[in-house]
Structure 1
Amino acid sequence: MTVLSAAALVSMVATTALAQGSRQDFTLVNRTGYDISEVYVSPGKANDWEEDILGDDGLEDGDSVNITFRRAGKTCIWDLKVVYSDDDSSAVWHDINLCQVEKITLRYNRKSDTTSATFD
């Protein structure tokens, strides 16, 4: 193996590892008609929601946020919780395969009083 091809192989392995480490990253789109004050993403079946990933920021209706995982997750299955800023009510989705989902769009149906999500 030449030095050039060995360097190319190392670069390819590093790029693949980097891509796999961020494969759970996704975009969250708020089309609910309401502002969202908190967003939690936790490994599936975890007993703790961990920290609000929005921090002091919120997610206004019509806006989106890119959610980036800084740690190398060993699971593809995650749970998502959002909390609305107007009344602190929340909506939860379980068992989302973030290795296959790149965008989650949230919508609220006033008639049925339910928040739904589409996964792309």
Structure 2
Amino acid sequence: MTRLVLISCFSAVCLSTSALAQDTFTLDNNTGYTITAVFAAPSEDDDWGPNILGERIAHRETMEVTLDTETSGCMWDLRYEFSDGEFFEEYEVDVCRISGESYILE
């Protein structure tokens, strides 16, 4: 199954994150499936770390994601697991650049 990731800014003002210790974006699930797990790790790390998803995200629901960019930098790898058993991984996502925006997973 192919899943494409599209990024769009719904707010009139995109935040500058150079002085922030954490960056936050809204993950919008438009995949048609429930997201059962989300793993995020700095791109230079070798393992995914813990599941950061508190509860499942149904299709068309959102989740706010906050990552520590002060100590871990802006480049993060993300892994999504779905209710149908599939998963999708993306690498070197610049979370500083998408901070304050909606990140749409389709």
Tell me, in whole angstroms, the C-alpha distance in 1 between the residues paired with 2:45 and 2:20. Answer: 22
Tell me, in whole angstroms, the C-alpha distance in 2 between the residues paired with 1:34 and 1:85. Answer: 6
The TM-score with structure 2 as length reference comes to 0.73
- 1:44-101 CA-to-partner distances (Å, cap 9, x unmatched) read 131111010114x1010000000123674341100111000222x1101101111111
The TM-score with structure 1 as length reference comes to 0.65
Greater share of helix: 1
- CA RMSD, 1 decimal: 2.3
Larger relative contact order (C-alpha < 8 A, sep ≥ 6)? 2
What does residue 86 of structure 1 align with? Answer: 84
Q: How does 1:33-112 map to 2 (within 5 A)?
A: 33-55=32-54, 57-69=55-67, 72-87=70-85, 89-101=86-98, 102-107=101-106
Q: Provide the aligned length of Structure 1 versus Structure 2.
A: 89
Greater share of strand: 2
- Larger Rg over CA atoms: 1
Tell me which stretches of 4 or more aligned residues in structure 1 moved more than 4 Å. Answer: none
Structure 1 runs not aligned, ≥5 long: 1-16, 108-120
Q: Rate the CA distance shift 1:93–1:29 in 2: closer, same or farther, 3 A.
A: same
Identity in percent? 30
Q: Rate the CA distance shift 1:79–1:71 in 2: closer, same or farther, 3 A.
A: closer
